[in-house]
Amino acid sequence: MPTILETDVVVVGGGMAGAYAAIGASRQGSKVLLLSKGFLAKSGCSPMAAFLSVPPYYTPPDSEQSIFEDGVTGGASGIAGGSYIFLANQEALKDTFDKAPQILADLEAMGVYFRRDEEGKFVLLGSGFDKDGKVRKPRFSLAWNFGLTGKSIMDVLKGEIIKRGIPYKDEVRVTKVLTNGGAAVGVTAIDYSTGEFFVVRAKSVILATGSGVYLWRYTTASRECTGDGHMMALRAGAELTDIEFVTWHFADVAWPEAWRRLQMYPQPYPGSGFYPQWYDSKGNRFIKDVEIGSKEAQAMAVARSVVGGTVQKRGGYYASWRHVSEDELKEWFQNYYHLKKLGLDISLDMIECGMSSHSWHGGIRTNGKTETSVPGLYGAGGVAPNHYPRLHTALWGGKVAAIYASERAADVSLQDLDMVQVEDEEARVTGLLRTEPANGKSPTQVKRRIWDLFFDKMWYIKDAETMKKGLEELRSIRENDVPMMRASSKSRNSNQEWVDALDVIDMLDLGELLIMSSLRREESRGPFVRGDFPSTDDERWMKNLVIKLKDGKPEYRTEPVALTLMRPKGVVPS
Amino acid sequence: MSRQPGGEGGDIHVTIYRFDPSTDAAPRYEQYSAPRTKYMRIIDVLEYLTEVKGIGIAYRSSCGIKKCGTCGVMANGVPKLACYEAAQDGMTIEPLRNFRVIRDLVTDRAPYQEKIDSITPFLVRDSQPGKFPEDLRHSQMIERNRFDQCITCLLCVAACPIMESNPSFVGPAAATRAAALLEDVRDAGAEARLDTLADEFGLWRCHMIGECTEVCPAHAEPALAIQRLRRRSVKRTLRAMVRRVGGGHRP
Ligand SMILES: Cc1cc2nc3c(=O)[nH]c(=O)nc-3n(C[C@H](O)[C@H](O)[C@H](O)COP(=O)(O)OP(=O)(O)OC[C@H]3O[C@@H](n4cnc5c(N)ncnc54)[C@H](O)[C@@H]3O)c2cc1C
Ligand code: SF4
Ligand code: FES
């Protein structure tokens, strides 16, 4: 019989959404337990983020309305990199902007320092360029150094969690959302440093597991982001939406491979508004005409060159900072130290870059209260972005989920667990801790196959043919490799292969849904690019694509986008 | 034109510490090799061995870019971040010193986290700020920011010669967090923090040799942090003495 812990609200995830949700729920008077697959504040994408979008601090002629509109239309690459043209949950987007001032003030009160100048004004970071190449519409801020924003905020949130005495557990991989009578009643998990399988009984479950972008070998997402939360929600009866919307970076470091998450930031950088220049391997300026363009235009220009064979998906083109002084870089740019470490002389050398999958606009389908269709189950942050998966989205999600999860916790009592579910899950999870067959494959090797398959077949530009090949390969991994998966040892001590085996199951399930959704959406829109359907088709596809399981099988349907606050030009109000 | 990135081609050979206390009688060292790639880091070797070769070596990492601070190892006897340090042929890779080994390169961070918890690791305010943004100038925050670069990778703890003989020493990483808070002009938590830090086993155990700063990958200067804390602690003691003498309460 596994240990059963009891709490009001269980938060799954130790990134910005999870940490902020835990603090919020504790403030509401709930008893909270936070579980994190990596370490609290040291896992997920949050610690890597360079800057925070702060919509209320704009520079005229920008206005709250223009920023909101950019958010909906993907103008200036959306509010912060990546557009999701007209598919965003407008109410949630609006509320994110409305709540941002409160959230920022709260962060500052807890100890975050947002960079000021000597007059005490925020240093704002540009969101793009105007046609003369001047930095346009500064509306972002940074904690204090470009590149350390996420980390610094996470340190403060962790401090607040310690201050409030909120219990948290590191290196706990949650495996299932338990339900009873259709409502969420808890979760199962393994503490993989000890190998213990345990159960948490809770009145509300907040999933804050981040994006699922670690399906691709070259990605900016951290090691934990394998889509666990997406699949747990779906299996518990909730819905996913628009998971085919993946944004791509083109400016991440190609070598060393370990640094594939290090961005050379093709946008204006704080302080001066400098941005890198791009060269191909012959030393010619490359993508010069979109150097000051939107992120989509830039990614597309690089992708076209990949298709044309002049550069590769990973390499063959270079970022140059040679036009920026070393002092300037050192003052503002965390990555300065990384380049130094490689022995590169910034005034001489260029940095070879590559493309990588970055973030997901889609995820668990939630409403403006972060509620899923399962009572008691909430989705916050990168796992359920509603619009743009960024730090401010994660903070908004955490804040809102805390309120509604706590409200429910005050209303309902702890429900009974369905012990059959617990037993079945324990059997499934422990079943993956096996060393047979002897001639099998390690789960980590299988993971690598999935990463390669996605990078190859589900790249930025895709078409039906490549995607169908991808689907075939994915199914063959499921049929042939999964039964052969075995760990090197049955030891329960920090058995990462065991965690990898659990991940593989979720990655394959989510990956299949992602390919199927991408096949269905017969258009291109913002970051979703199909070679065989290059234009945007508002008539057929200005719709959310929703997935739900019925008897264990996925069912797809489209839902009209709720154009409650803004409509595209030419669309007549109905 | 860019100079050519160095070191591609051929194999790289490493020796890795393997130990699972639940199944092995003693640690052992195993030799492995991996094809060398451009600018190869230690973690690239570990990823190759686990992901391509399927060898079940346990190690930690999350970000791969010196942000999460979880990938620390001893490389040729020196604490390094696996994702930041170049892999070298003939390298020996072991778990961080001064920590209990859970398995292979994975060590137990929890006891040290308790030390960080003990220094009041959050901003203490006398009163909540009345407005947002509060009045602050960047120049007021530079010292705080220096120490805020710390990514709690605990390499400095592994390098510290005092930690081993004085397990009650709070250690350089907790001191660095404390310094970031103490140097924050908004903070009013000095008393509580210095109480923890300045006790008999705290700050004064440090020999100020500076190994910690040497290994710090984040330029957070833990040795300077300790020096700052000492100075504050001395000042505080002197102030308290002056107060006592001035007040005439001392017998
Ligand atoms: C390299 C990079 C740079 C970025 N830069 C910026 C930027 O400059 N500005 C910006 O606004 N946004 C940026 N983003 C996006 C932003 O970081 C994310 O949208 C945001 O951090 C998401 O926060 P989150 O809390 O939802 O998820 P994450 O921070 O990803 O946290 C997820 C958490 O869930 C845990 N977890 C996962 N699965 C499980 C499980 N099964 N059981 C238990 N726990 C689990 C993980 O351990 C982790 O703690 C960047 C993202 C990346 C990857
Ligand atoms: S002070 Fe430096 S070495 Fe020590 S924990 Fe912080 S970042 Fe790591
Ligand atoms: S993996 Fe995050 S610091 Fe090395």
The CATH number of residue A291's host domain is: 3.90.700
Tell me what pLDDT residue B60 has. 98
Tokens of B186: 């908004």
User: Are A303 and A224 in a shared domain?
Assistant: no
Of the residues A358, A385, A408, which one is the last residue of a structural domain? A358
User: Are A158 and A263 in a shared domain?
Assistant: no
User: Are A219 and A258 in a shared domain?
Assistant: no
- ipTM score here? 0.95
Number of domains into which chain A is organized: 2
User: Which SS3 state, helix, strand or coil, does residue A464 take?
Assistant: helix
User: Are A332 and A393 in a shared domain?
Assistant: no
pLDDT-derived band at B198, boundaries 50, 70, 90 = confident
- CB contact under 8 Å between A261 and B219, yes or no, is no
Tokens 């960080």 -> residue:
B116
Residue A298, domain member (yes or no): yes
pLDDT-derived band at B8, boundaries 50, 70, 90 = low
User: Are A383 and A312 in a shared domain?
Assistant: no
Ligand 2 pocket check for B218: Cβ under 6 Å:
yes
Residue A138, domain member (yes or no): yes
pLDDT-derived band at B4, boundaries 50, 70, 90 = very low
Q: What is the mean pLDDT of residues B167-172?
A: 86
Single-letter amino acid, residue B58: A
- Ligand minimally distant from the alpha carbon of residue B113: 2
User: Are A235 and A284 in a shared domain?
Assistant: no
B67: nearest CB among A48, A442, A444: A48
User: Are A138 and A226 in a shared domain?
Assistant: yes
> What element of type H or E holds B191?
helix B190-197
Of the CA atoms within 13 Å of residue A108, those in its CB half-sphere come to: 26
Mutate to test the pocket of ligand 3, among B46, B80, B81 (most ligand atoms within 8 A of CB): B81
Tell me what pLDDT residue B2 has. 38
Of the residues A397, A418, A439, which one is the last residue of a structural domain? A418
**Pairing status of strand B106-107 against strand A240-241:** unpaired
User: Are A354 and A365 in a shared domain?
Assistant: no
Percent of chain B with pLDDT over 90: 75
The count of other CB atoms within 10 Å of the CB of residue A427 is 9
User: Are A16 and A53 in a shared domain?
Assistant: yes
Full domain range(s) for residue A321 = 248-358
User: Are A189 and A230 in a shared domain?
Assistant: yes
Of the residues A358, A374, A399, which one is the last residue of a structural domain? A358
Tell me what pLDDT residue A131 has. 61
pLDDT digits (tens, 9 = 90+) for B19-45: 999 999 999 999 999 999 999 999 999
Q: Is 90 exceeded by the pLDDT of residue B177?
A: yes
User: Are A155 and A276 in a shared domain?
Assistant: no
Q: How far is it, in rounded angstroms, from Cα B250 to Cα B241? A: 9
Tell me what pLDDT residue A55 has. 61
> What element of type H or E holds B74?
strand B72-75
Strands (E), A284-409: 314-320, 350-360, 363-364, 377-379
What domains can be seen in chain B, in order of their start residue?
7-107 (3.10.20.30), 110-244 (1.10.1060.10)
Tell me what pLDDT residue A295 has. 80
Partners of A104 on chain B (C-beta within 8 Å) are: 132
User: Are A59 and A198 in a shared domain?
Assistant: yes
Which atom of ligand 3 is the closest one to the Cα of B84? 4
Distance from CA of B53 to the nearest CA of A (A): 7
Q: Touching check for A329 and chain B: CB below 8 Å? A: no
Q: Which of residues 4-63 of B touch A (CB under 8 A)?
A: 5-6, 20-23, 37-41, 43-44, 47, 50-56, 58-59, 61-63
Residue A430, domain member (yes or no): no
The CATH number of residue A28's host domain is: 3.50.50.60
Consecutive sets of 10 residues in chain A, 574 residues long: mean pLDDT of each? 97 98 98 98 96 72 78 65 74 88 94 92 74 64 84 98 98 98 98 97 98 95 97 98 94 95 84 84 89 83 95 95 88 88 88 94 95 98 90 95 98 97 98 96 98 97 98 98 97 97 98 98 94 94 96 96 81 47
Residue A152, domain member (yes or no): yes
Residue A556, domain member (yes or no): no
